[in-house]
Amino acid sequence: MLLPLLLAILARATAAADDTLFRRVAARDAQALRILYDRCAGLALGVALRILHNRSEAEDVVQETFLESWKRAETFDGQRGSATAFVLSIARSRALDRLRSRVTSDKALASLGREAEASVPLPIETAEHRQDRERIQAALLTLPPEQRQVLELAYFEGLTQREIADRLSDPLGTVKTRARLALEKLSALLGEAQ
């Protein structure tokens, strides 16, 4: 009985802190942006790398992401999601834009091979964070494969719900339900991870 209440209080407190942070960013406080960067840049790079498989491009995406966060700070709404989710949604969107515009030339393919080695993430996390990540990864593996697949197609490959339905030959409603169920399960892990 007490745990959901504590989680709700924690979520509200986090949202309020994020709102304050973004208000400072919107007021052109570069120090606030640096705080946001320290909190999210590594995750943003991870998302961009996962989508692009190219470190140089992924770093460009991180730069673009924080510049866009700087410009769009006043649009942040803490009720819709955390500051981290806001930044990561921009990073994902920018990375997918690059992926779509990338020309599949021989040069690009060749560079992909070269960058693959360089894009191996460096360990920057504490032991505690690593434990959290491993726990999330384990939880992700407990999701039914079809739910996990829907999330990966949507989030990392940028497919729309209709494209996912076409690719998996599933009804649109099924795709929606799988995405909702999967995200609700993952959402429950966030409080524990924080």
Partner 1 sequence: MTCAEFQESAGLMAVGALSTEEMSLAEAHLAEPRHSGCLAALRRAADGVEVLARSLSPARLDERVWRGIESQLAGPPPVKRARRAAPPWRERIAWSAAAAAVVLLLANLAARSHDNRRFAEQTATATQERATATGTLERERATATAVATRLEKERESCARDLLAVRDDADRQRFALELLQTPATLVVSLAPPKGGKPGARALLNLEQRKGVLLSVALAPQAGKDYELWIIRGDKKLSAGLLRAGPSGGVLASIDSGLFASGRPDAVAVTLEKTGGAPQPTGPILLVGALPKS
Nearer Cβ to partner 1, position 14 or 111?
14
Separation between Cα atoms, residue 158 and residue 142, nearest integer Å? 23
Distance in Å, CB of 130 to partner 1, minimum: 9
Distance in Å, CB of 106 to partner 1, minimum: 27
Q: Cβ neighbours of residue 179 under 8 Å, at least 6 residues apart? A: 147, 150, 151, 154, 161
Distance in Å, CB of 65 to partner 1, minimum: 9
1-12 in b/e form (b: 16+ CB < 10 A) is: eeeeeeeeeeee
Q: How far is CA 175 from CA 34, 76, 79, 90, 167, in A?
A: 38, 28, 25, 23, 11
Separation between Cα atoms, residue 183 and residue 61, nearest integer Å? 25
Separation between Cα atoms, residue 70 and residue 31, nearest integer Å? 11
Q: Cβ neighbours of residue 169 under 8 Å, at least 6 residues apart? A: none
Distance in Å, CB of 117 to partner 1, minimum: 14
Nearer Cβ to partner 1, position 114 or 162?
162
Nearer Cβ to partner 1, position 25 or 107?
25
Nearer Cβ to partner 1, position 103 or 118?
118
Distance in Å, CB of 105 to partner 1, minimum: 26
Residue 110 has a CB neighbour count (10 Å cut-off) of 10
Nearer Cβ to partner 1, position 107 or 177?
177
C-beta separation of 139 from 125 below 8 A: no
Nearer Cβ to partner 1, position 26 or 186?
186
Distance in Å, CB of 49 to partner 1, minimum: 6
